[in-house]
Amino acid sequence: MNPETPLRGEKAIRKKQPSKGWLVVSRFFQKYSYFFAKIGVSLLTLTLTTILLFFLLRLIPGDILEIYALKLQNQQGISYERAYELAKQLLNFDPSENVFLAFFHYVGGLFRGQLGNSYLETNVSANSLIATRLPWTLFVSTVALIISFLLGTTIGCYAAEKRKGFLEKLTSGYVAISGSIPDYLMALLLVIVFAYTLNWFPAQGNYDSFSVEPGFNFPFFGSVIYYSFLPILAYALVQTGTWILQMRGSTIGVLGEDFILAARARGLSDRTIRRKYLRRNALLPLVTMFGVSFGNLFGGATLMESIFNYPGIGLEISSRIVNKDYMVVQGLIFFSAAMVILVNLIVDMIYPLIDPRVRKN
């Protein structure tokens, strides 16, 4: 029998094996299945968010179209019917439409990048507001997040190590107080004390528009920091408490691990253990908290900025809700939700690079 000829059935088996190219693709997907799953979940969340916001939009009383149409009629001198049609187009909103058709229009508007036009002011839309206001909110919330993260993790680590002492009592008292004062009441107290009673800091605005010129110069930066000091302080005071609590719990968990005991047995100094073994491992689970914390900051900005009169996205949302400018508001809320989802996705993406154990599960 010729050894070259395949045995019975072997040919069929060979046929079943996928080609090399397909193998590479499937291996690629298997290797990065974690990332693809995360991307899929965030896309799903975004879709569901869109649906939810759409149904919220359907709750809006329909008379805003009539008000807008009357306004257009007066402004442009056209008939009421034409103004009504124009209003429908400009707001991308028609309460008499079929639900499915309206949903397609809504999603189409989002895909075209139209988040919503204001019906109170001409030439103001969610897009233009995001372009002008977002940098301020992002600046304040990221700076506050970084400061509170650094402070909170350092203090939390110490508090976990020295659990019987004055410092521990101080930190747990601080955590209790900062956890029980709502962040906006903290902001209100700060404004009352520092802005209205002592007059140390300004009570509104994001920079001194009279004396400095926006641009790349030091007086402008100084003014921005001076005006954003109180909001950042308020955020940081509240957020630091939660970071301390999280870091303390995480560090206590790591302290019980065997590798710390082994490091102690090898006679490593406390400082080395703390820096190279304890803190790094305790920080790992806190990275996932970053997304949640950012979401809290972004959502809380609505009230905080209206208390500080700090012109960011949050102030726009709260003042425009009161003025019933719903089309812009839903665009801004959609944008903030998308940003929070994106930040969560980025955190999820980075996390397995820091802690490879996650990808295997």
Partner 1 sequence: MKEKASKLNLWLKSLSLSLKDFFFRVGVLGKKLFSNYKTILGTSIILLYILVAIFGPLIFPYNQEINMVDKYLMNSWTHPFGTDWLGRDVFRQVIAGAGSVLEIAFFTAAFSVVFGTILGIVAGYLGGWVDKVIMSVANIFLSIPAFPVYLLLAAVIVISSPIQFALVISVFSWAGLCRAIRIQVMSLKERDFLQICLVMRMSKAHIIFKEIMPNVFSYIAINFVTALRNAIMASVGIMLVGLAAYDPTNWGAIINAARTKGLTNVNNIYILLYPLVAIVIFEVATLMVSNGLDETFNPRLKEM
User: What mask of x and - would describe binding to partner 1 in positions 249 to 268, judged by CB under 8 A?
Assistant: ---x----------------
- Binding to partner 1 in span 60-89, by CB under 8 A: 60-61
Q: Rounded distance, CA 195 to CA 308, Å?
A: 9
Tokens standing for residue 325: 């400018």
Closer CB to partner 1, residue 277 or residue 298? 298
**In the beta sheet, which residues pair with residue 117?**
125
| Residue 56 contacts partner 1 per CB under 8 A | yes
**12-26: b or e for each residue (b if 16 or more CB lie within 10 Å)?**
eeeeeeeeeeeeeee
- Binding to partner 1 in span 199-218, by CB under 8 A: 203
| Residue 358 contacts partner 1 per CB under 8 A | no
Q: Rounded distance, CA 169 to CA 171, Å?
A: 6
| Residue 300 contacts partner 1 per CB under 8 A | yes
- Residue 341 CB, nearest approach to partner 1 (Å): 5
Provide φ and ψ at 5, rounded to 5°. -70, 135
**In the beta sheet, which residues pair with residue 125?**
117
Tokens standing for residue 23: 């193998």
Binder among 184, 226, 229, 290 for partner 1 (CB under 8 A) = 184
Closer CB to partner 1, residue 152 or residue 241? 241
Site size for partner 1 (CB under 8 A): 54
In three-state secondary structure terms, 100 is helix
Binder among 13, 25, 189, 261 for partner 1 (CB under 8 A) = 189
Binder among 134, 324, 346, 349 for partner 1 (CB under 8 A) = 324
Helices 166-180 and 218-255 pack at an angle, to 10 degrees, of 120
The answer for residues whose C-beta is within 8 angstroms of residue 106's C-beta and 6 or more apart is 50, 54, 57, 92
- Residue 214 CB, nearest approach to partner 1 (Å): 27
Q: Which helix (H) or strand (E) holds 8?
A: none
Q: Which residues bind partner 1 (CB under 8 A)?
A: 41, 44-45, 48-49, 52, 56, 59-61, 163, 176-177, 179-182, 184-185, 188-189, 191-192, 195-197, 203, 252, 292, 295-296, 298-300, 302-303, 306-307, 314, 317-318, 321-322, 324, 326, 329-330, 332-333, 336-337, 340-341, 344
